């Protein structure tokens, strides 16, 4: 990288085929490159490819390894509480981007599953756990998510429910609508019903233990799930908070997610508090950072913003909505 400043850069979404996904992802994406159902669009995966700027053609993992503190920050903490800090980023893989941001498209029920926390994952030889959140972008009438176990449900009851196909009856099913933010604490038994589009922000991890899959024939991880799950967690809906110039959707130890609106012909200044990205939800914006080439922010794509940018300005001729996802 030399002495040149690392500016914002856009990533190409990577589409993951899933049996519960959709064939048509419009208006988010016109083409997925496959005739099979797609359930996830990974916006900031380690193998996501940079499509703008001098780092074009590299993966996000390669940029993180090469750019180091310029991209990931040097021990910063922020408003989200806890903070990941430089020691955590470096310990977790020599400079890995800390957030995996996705769009999820459910045409059918997802599997019932659970993710480990940091301590559990590290005991298994993994670098970190998987705490996540869901921001509801679309929801069909009556759409629900499975979020945790009903009070009184025991590990024995859960194991029996997996065996006899009644696990869903032990879960709390929560109605969702557009604009809801849901926190999914590690250890929470969870599922997603059909008819929703979610923006998922999570720790960079794909460690998932599948408990029940509606007879689809995919591998289950029952024993690992029973050891990982918690009967009570902090999972639940989170109330948005209006802040000067934006809306704070969630602030947790591992991530903060804020929503910004840019009026037609207007601009907003967005402070950068750590490693993160901007995700376009509506319209088109131009992301400007001092000393760097401007990047077009498109709907359904992420523009990664280096932690040392200080702040960026997003302009839009016709108006735009976006979220900032960052690791405090």
Contact in structure between 235 and 185 (CB atoms under 8 Å): yes
d(CA 284, CA 280): 7
Q: Which fold has domain 9-237?
A: Jelly Rolls (2.60.120)
d(CA 226, CA 158): 8
82, 88, 94, 307, 319 from 78: Cα distances, Å: 8, 14, 21, 12, 29
How many Å is the Cα radius of gyration of the chain?
Answer: 19
State residue 82's pLDDT score.
32
- The number of angstroms, rounded, from the C-alpha of 210 to the middle of its chain's C-alpha atoms is 19
d(CA 193, CA 107): 8
Contact in structure between 277 and 303 (CB atoms under 8 Å): yes
Write out the CATH class of domain 241-326.
Answer: mainly beta
Contact in structure between 44 and 12 (CB atoms under 8 Å): no
Peptide bond into 27 cis (omega under 30): yes
State residue 79's pLDDT score.
27
Which residues make up the CATH 2.60.120.10 domain(s) of the chain?
9-237, 241-326
State residue 303's pLDDT score.
98
State residue 95's pLDDT score.
75
User: pTM higher than 0.95 for the full model?
Assistant: no
**Residue 122's CB: how many other CB atoms inside 10 A?**
15
* pLDDT averaged per 10 residues, the chain (length 328): 73 96 97 96 95 95 91 54 33 71 97 96 94 98 97 95 96 98 98 98 94 93 96 96 96 97 98 93 96 95 93 97 96
State residue 175's pLDDT score.
98
């Amino acid at each position: 990288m030399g002495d040149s400043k690392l500016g914002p850069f856009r990533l190409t979404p990577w589409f993951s085929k899933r049996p519960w996904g959709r064939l048509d992802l419009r208006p988010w994406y016109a083409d997925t490159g496959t005739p099979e159902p797609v359930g996830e669009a990974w916006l900031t995966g380690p193998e996501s490819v940079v499509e703008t700027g001098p780092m074009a053609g590299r993966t996000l993992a390669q940029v993180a390894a090469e750019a180091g503190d310029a991209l990931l920050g040097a021990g910063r903490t922020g408003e989200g509480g806890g903070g990941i800090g430089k020691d955590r980023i470096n310990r977790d893989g020599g400079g890995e981007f800390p957030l995996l941001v996705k769009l999820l498209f459910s045409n059918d029920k997802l599997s019932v599953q659970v993710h480990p926390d940091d301590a559990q994952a590290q005991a298994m030889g993994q670098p970190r756990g998987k705490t996540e959140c869901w921001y509801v972008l679309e929801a069909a009438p009556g759409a629900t998510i499975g979020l945790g176990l009903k009070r009184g449900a025991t590990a024995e009851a859960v194991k029996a429910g997996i065996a006899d196909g009644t696990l869903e009856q032990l879960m709390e099913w929560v109605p969702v609508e557009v604009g809801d933010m849901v926190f999914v604490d590690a250890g929470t038994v969870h599922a997603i019903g059909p008819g929703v589009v979610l923006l998922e922000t999570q720790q960079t991890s794909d460690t998932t233990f599948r408990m029940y899959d509606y007879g689809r024939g995919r591998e289950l991880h029952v024993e690992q799930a029973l050891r990982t799950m918690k009967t009570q967690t902090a999972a639940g809906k989170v109330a948005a908070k209006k802040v000067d110039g934006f809306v704070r959707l969630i602030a947790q130890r591992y991530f903060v997610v804020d929503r910004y609106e840019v009026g037609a012909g207007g601009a907003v200044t967005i402070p950068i508090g750590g490693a993160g990205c901007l995700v376009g939800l509506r319209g088109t914006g131009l992301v400007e950072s001092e000393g760097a080439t401007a990047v077009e922010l498109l709907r359904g794509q992420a523009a990664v913003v280096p932690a040392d940018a200080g702040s960026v300005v997003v302009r839009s001729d016709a108006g735009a909505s976006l979220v900032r996802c960052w690791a405090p």
